[in-house]
Structure 1
């Protein structure tokens, strides 16, 4: 599975996802500072899930109706890094195939997955 990870996501999360076997492209390593629209476009062009902590991507798909390969929004602010890494790894282990084509949220006590209509 291909993932494009936005630059607001911490590097230890990227490292763990790579260790878990995902093909991860990290905006911070490729093109730091690019706009959300460019990140969104690249994820779609590369048929990659977009992993982000930026709520603005929800705006792009719900208010503007843009089609996407899948977006996973992280709502884990304030948690210790080790906890974040573990929760994300577990969520991908359990739900990776369900994330495709969906807008999903990983929060401390829940994973919500909403597929496009």
Structure 2
């Protein structure tokens, strides 16, 4: 799976996903400082799942009706990075087919997948 990691995704998470065989494009490495709309456009062009901790993408996708190839919003504040990485990898592995064209929210206690 191709994943576009927003600037707010920790390096350890990106590395864990890459080590598991996923192609991860990092906004921090390749496009630091760009606006959210441009991030969403890159994800769409790459047909990538956007991995982010930024709730503003919900505004873009639902209120502004911008097209999305899939957003995975992580709400995992307080968890150590290794635990975040394993949880995110597990969600992507288990729900890969469902994540495309969906807006998914992950917390330590639940996963909510909403298809547009």
Matches within 5 A, 1:24-43: 24-43=24-43
- Unaligned segments of structure 2, at least 5 residues: none
Question: Moved runs in structure 1, 4+ residues, more than 4 A?
Answer: none
TM-score (norm 1): 0.96
- Unaligned segments of structure 1, at least 5 residues: none
Matches within 5 A, 1:1-117: 1-116=1-116
1:50, CA displacement in angstroms? 0.5
Query: In 1, distance between residues paired with 2:100 and 2:80?
Result: 27
What RMSD, in angstroms, separates the aligned Cα atoms of the two structures? 0.8
Number of residue-to-residue matches in the alignment: 116
TM-score (norm 2): 0.97
Deviations 1:30-67 (A, max 9, x none): 01111101101111111111000000000001110111
